[in-house]
Amino acid sequence: MAYLLQFFILLPIVGYGISLVVPRSKEDIISWSAFATVGAHLIFFQIFLVYWLFHGYPTLDYKELVIFRTTDYEFFVDFYFDKVTAVYLLVGSFLTFLVTIYSRYYMHREPGYKRFFNTILFFYVGYNVVIFSGNMETLFIGWEILGVSSFLLIAFYRDRYLPVKNAVKVFSIYRIGDVGLILAMWMAHHLFHENITFLKLNNYELVHGHLQNHTWIGIFISLMILLSAAAKSAQFPFSSWLPRAMEGPTPSSAIFYGSLSVHLGVFVLFRTFPFWDHQLSVRIIIALVGLVSSIIATGIARVQSSVKSQIAYASIAQIGLIFIELAAGLEDLALIHFAGNAFLRTYQLLVSPSVVSYLIREQFYNFIPRPQTIEDSFPKRMEYTLYMLCLKEWNLDTLMYRYLWNPLKMTGRKLNFLTLKRVIYFLIPIYLIGLFSVYNREIVPDQIKVYLPYVFSLIALITVLKAFTERKHARVSWLLVVMNHFWVALAISFNEQFSFSQVHYYLSGVTIAGILGFLSLRWLKSHEGSIDLDQFHGHSYKHPKFAVVFLLACLGVSGFPISPTFIGEDLIFTHIHEDQPMLALIVSLTFIIDGLAIIRMYARLFLGPHVKSIYEMAYRSS
């Protein structure tokens, strides 16, 4: 029975491949390919579900493919099926099927009709990989696919300023969640000394035996999992990104941010529940995050003027309650709550245009004064204070900028002295000296060798900070991002037992994608002249094919699962020792900024209003 799990992944992949080759003018074929793919997937699952229930609903685990293996490390794809997967797949397949039917008519004659359905099927591939994942590595493959498809759907109206800006903002939060998962995998490798599967996590004796003498390591892994879950499910303090993500078409808002994608943070907590279940401090923190999110989001939802924002914050509040239910150990209740919330929010978002139109007409004929609420019983000063805080969304967006992004930008601007010539004259010779030292370790004193990983990782952080804040030269920013990976590889190469074959495996994907991206930028420069990063250029309007090529190069460099870099990043962290938390922090920070620099570069060059347009553009919403 377990071997059937792979077909749940293969079917959406086949449907996505078919949708890519259909001409954009054939709307019926495009929509029917998506409709048939998701419909067949739903029918296949229903048959499988009956078969699974008839055989006593066993827990299934299927080790599909070993991608990379060394003496002490194995990267493999593993599929897993239990009641959590069954509920998520039932809800996901039905709602995706419903939304594809709705979108066939809603998106009719849209210029990006084919692009929309391609992205929806791409999302469905990632969703299935996540919910069928049997280990953290397989989950991370689907996690990355969901992040990119989310970015593309938020920026669907790519000739407008605000959708592109909000897409970059959402991707930046997703990147934090990505690194949380990477750090959790890093420490889990050191704790269990293997690529642990979710099936083994259900073994209480195994988990308890490893955590008994490593309590703080267990807390660290659990908190990193919580960080990823909170970022993905828009919980405190990341709640402000969800309403910004509603800039995409209504069907994508319904399936992503009302029902499926936003609940995948909850799914990660479901999957890792046996690991943190017996850590009381972690359960209290998860419950507090859910409680704060519910209280804040409820107040914010009550003062929103946009119906999509109201639904978004109402969904955040309900997900916060699901966090509390999981922390209390009420798994079955949390599953039922997830299904109910997903169906309700999808319905609300799909009918929201009609409801708003109805309410606008109704208020002229049957005006009803605002009823008394619980806030009216508060002192007026407290009531007005709460109202202003909720209206400003508790300044969550401002705090994120003030204490996270703005310090990074300020630090990067102080590196303006790093011109291309200085990079060539100073950093490349230092890199060559470091490379010589790696191949001749015996001549490097042990007292110095201990500090070299930190020195080279800091140089990597400097280069990627400069790339992130570069405003003039896109090619310089691109080269610095690529160099960042080479510096990280050099830093980790000084750690024990890190073979050069693994370094080459990691850098091979970066090198190929880096060359492809540089050639794309060079071609764009020769045809368009200025390609500075100080504004949006919107070159996808004239060069859509090159926009796709450059996006693939960006994904390859940032570690998306289309190149060896994806496995290489996991390899890099595996060789960071558990007594090197500062090194892990620096490397993880470089990966966060690396992804932001790349996606910002792509957005500035290929998305937004076209730079040569003769028409006025609305740059900000009212």
Phi-psi region of 610 (alpha: psi -120 to 50; beta: other; left: phi over 0): beta
- What is the enclosing helix (H) or strand (E) of 327? helix 307-327
pLDDT for 271 beyond 80: yes
What is the band of 617 on the pLDDT scale with cuts at 50, 70, 90?
Answer: low
How many C-beta neighbours within 10 Å does residue 616 have? 7
What mean pLDDT do residues 574-587 have? 85
What mean pLDDT do residues 80-96 have? 92
The residues, ordered by sequence, that sit 6+ positions from 430 with a Cβ below 8 Å of its Cβ are 459
Which structure tokens are listed for 36? 């048939």
CA distance 518 to 473: 12
The answer to whether 540 and 158 are in contact (CB under 8 A) is yes
pTM: 0.92
Place of tokens 């599967």: 197
The answer to whether 227 and 178 are in contact (CB under 8 A) is no
The answer to whether 59 and 15 are in contact (CB under 8 A) is no
Which structure tokens are listed for 84? 């959590």
CA distance 495 to 593: 23
Which structure tokens are listed for 427? 């950093």
10 Å CB burial of residue 369 (0-12, 13-18, 19+) is exposed
The CA-CA-CA angle for residues 32, 36, 39, to 5°, reads 135
Helix, strand, or coil here: 292? helix
Helix, strand, or coil here: 495? coil
End-to-end CA distance of the chain: 55
- What is the enclosing helix (H) or strand (E) of 573? helix 565-574
How many C-beta neighbours within 10 Å does residue 178 have? 25
CA distance 15 to 38: 8
Using only C-alpha atoms, the chain has a radius of gyration, in whole angstroms, of 25
CA distance 96 to 40: 12
Place of tokens 């407008």: 160
Q: Which sign does the torsion angle of CA 264, 267, 271, 276 carry? A: positive
DSSP 541: G
Share of the chain above pLDDT 70, in %: 97
CA distance 491 to 77: 28
Which residues lie across from 68 on neighbouring strands?
A: 75
| 423-426 contacts, C-beta under 8 A, 24 or more apart | 423/463, 423/476, 423/479, 423/480, 423/483
CA distance 75 to 26: 41
CA distance 116 to 95: 16
What mean pLDDT do residues 255-281 have? 89
The answer to whether 262 and 150 are in contact (CB under 8 A) is no
Residue 29: which of 117, 127, 159 has the closest Cα?
A: 117
3-state SS, 214-281, equals: CHHHHHHHHHHHHHHHHHHCCCCCCCCHHHHHHHCCHHHHHHHHHHCHHHHHHHHHHHCHHHHCCCHH
DSSP 370: P
CA distance 156 to 117: 11
What is the band of 621 on the pLDDT scale with cuts at 50, 70, 90?
Answer: very low
What mean pLDDT do residues 74-94 have? 90
What is the pLDDT, as a whole number, of residue 622? 35
For 492, phi and psi rounded to 5 degrees? -75, -25
- What is the enclosing helix (H) or strand (E) of 60? strand 60-69
The residues, ordered by sequence, that sit 6+ positions from 214 with a Cβ below 8 Å of its Cβ are 191
What is the band of 339 on the pLDDT scale with cuts at 50, 70, 90?
Answer: very high
**Distances, alpha carbon 237 to alpha carbons 222, 224, 242, 297, 306, in Å:** 17, 14, 12, 11, 21
DSSP assignment of 115-138: HHHHHHHHHHHHHHHHHTBSBHHH
pLDDT tens digits for 551-570? 999 998 888 887 888 888 88
What mean pLDDT do residues 371-381 have? 77
What is the band of 613 on the pLDDT scale with cuts at 50, 70, 90?
Answer: low
pLDDT for 362 beyond 80: no
Helix, strand, or coil here: 416? coil
CA distance 143 to 562: 13
DSSP 371: P
pLDDT tens digits for 321-330? 999 999 998 9
The residues, ordered by sequence, that sit 6+ positions from 494 with a Cβ below 8 Å of its Cβ are 437, 438, 441, 449, 452, 453, 456
What is the band of 540 on the pLDDT scale with cuts at 50, 70, 90?
Answer: confident
How does the average pLDDT of the chain come out, rounded? Answer: 86
Give residue 496's Cα distance to chain centre: 32
pLDDT for 524 beyond 80: yes
Among 226-235, 423-432, 518-527, the least confident range? 423-432
CA distance 607 to 150: 15
Which residues lie across from 74 on neighbouring strands?
A: 69
Which structure tokens are listed for 537? 């250029």
pLDDT tens digits for 442-492? 787 878 878 888 888 998 988 888 888 888 888 888 988 998 899 988 888
CA distance 284 to 292: 12
CA distance 562 to 535: 29
CA distance 407 to 430: 27
